[in-house]
Amino acid sequence: MTVLDLRLYVVTDPALTPPERLAEMCLAAVRGGATLVQLRDKHASDDELLRQASELRDVLAPARVPLVVNDRVHVAERAGVGVHVGVTDTTPVLARATLGRGAVVGWSIEDPQGNDVEQLAACSYVAASPVWSTPTKTDTAAPLGLAGVAGLRRTTDRPLVGIGGINSPERAAATIRAGADGVAVVSAVFGASDPELAAARLRDAVDDALTDEQRRRPLERTSVHDDSPITSSKE
């Protein structure tokens, strides 16, 4: 068992992380300080997504960095990894029932006020989505802004990550100061010429912005592989 760490959550995109470089780029992000990886490919077949998930699961295991699959609970179940679901996908309660008590289950929330207590209880973490508008995902609600992140923080004690338009260390720090426990990014890391360096800069900004209270906030424990870690520039 290990603590789920949301500080720097990287999300893949096939336009930025082609399959032949997927593992390489995710490992670079982890060396820079990424703490959680989401595999997102809306157009891959189930079999292809399963192959990618299985490969990433194995290469991330030595770093003790969990993997979640976007949306497709059945693929996550077959790969033995977690899942992240949106407001129009399978509910967290159903995802939890499928994957079991120890799996990571994340849920995107677009309205800080109207969220189901039962669904929240089934989540390992929730994502304020989107904080700012983002070109990597256009089928989202209007941006919540930092006020929306703060509002969601007031309505739930679940671990909270901000996602959407966090394209700089300054925005990452602002999201943390608004109450998030971490930030989720796509192009800010995988669109950079040096993903490891980009991840390191974002992670530094997050770590610097965290308050003592945020550092003490208990995060959910979840089952992950427990092998020797790879070398990372962050401890």
Question: For the chain, which residues score pLDDT lower than 50?
Answer: 1, 223-233, 235
Query: How do 125-128 and 160-163 pair as beta strands?
Result: parallel
Closest CA to 187 of 234, 145, 134, 140: 134
Determine the pLDDT at residue 227: 38
Indicate the domain borders of the chain: 2-222
Determine the pLDDT at residue 218: 56
Q: What are phi and psi of 181, to 5 degrees?
A: -90, -15
Closest CA to 38 of 62, 4, 1, 3: 4
Determine the pLDDT at residue 88: 86
CATH H-level, domain 2-222: superfamily: Aldolase class I (3.20.20.70)
Single pTM value for the model: 0.91
Determine the pLDDT at residue 64: 95
Tokens at residue 27, please?
């490992």
Q: Which residue has the tokens 């996908």?
A: 89
Give 48's contacts (C-beta < 8 A, 6+ positions apart): 19, 41
